[in-house]
Amino acid sequence: MPFAKKSSPKKTIPVHDNTKSSRALPLSGELEAIRVRLAAAGDSGPDGTPEAVTLADVIATLRGRAYTLLLILLALPFITPIPLPGLSTPFGAAIAIIAFRLMLGQRPWLPEWLQKKRLPPGFFGRVFSVTEKVVRFLEKFLRPRPGLLTEQEWLRRAHALLIFASALVLLLPLPVPFSNSFPAWAILLAAGGLLERDSRAIVCAYAVAAAGVVFFVFLGGAVQEGFEALRAWWVNR
């Protein structure tokens, strides 16, 4: 399992992990291989009936692949404009913990209670079918474009901070369309940029995050104006 145990000695590692074994396939091929192994693990039962899997099962399917691929996998469900009740918090927590340890240069680790989180039967099978076009887009968009943003370790840790901050937004189960889309896309692009050493993807991740900030500021202002209008109506009725 690619995750370090909590009791393991701390060891500083680079934020990206582009091992040859982890990138033997294109992104769509990597995710398809994961989908097949998840089906074998129970996401789709032997009789074709989907069964529940845990985050530990998902982690096991990576088989030592780059942990940035896990960030992409966990962020994929949130790129739709509709929030996913019950999943924002555990998935956001998992992404936040992994990103936080990347910021510190440590091996990724998740607490046992989070690894035991059970996912709805057939969950990732549905996710992959819905996000197939997105995965194809990422596969065409991402390619090695090394530069200052990808080759400086302190900047790579700053990108992990961006992923961490975006994950904190996913932790908030806001019943608002697009509330998950902005942070999820920021995570996808930042993790993909780290995975492929793609400077342009990193820049796009920050641009999406900035757009998300504008969206939430506008949303907060609209909510405040709504409350003020409601209060004025209540006072003057």
Q: Is the per-residue pLDDT at 39 higher than 90? A: no
Q: How confident is the model at residue 21 (pLDDT cuts 50, 70, 90)?
A: very low
For 148-186, what is each residue's pLDDT tens digit?
Answer: 888 888 899 999 999 999 999 988 877 777 788 899 999
CB contact at 8 A, 83 and 92? no
Q: How confident is the model at residue 18 (pLDDT cuts 50, 70, 90)?
A: very low
Contacts of 63 (CB under 8 A, 6+ apart): 2, 37
Q: How confident is the model at residue 25 (pLDDT cuts 50, 70, 90)?
A: low
For 55-100, what is each residue's pLDDT tens digit?
Answer: 888 877 776 556 788 899 889 888 865 556 677 788 889 999 999 9
CB contact at 8 A, 22 and 66? yes
Q: Is 92 exposed, middle or buried (0-12, 13-18, 19+ CB in 10 A)?
A: buried
Q: How confident is the model at residue 210 (pLDDT cuts 50, 70, 90)?
A: very high
| Three-class DSSP category at 160 | helix
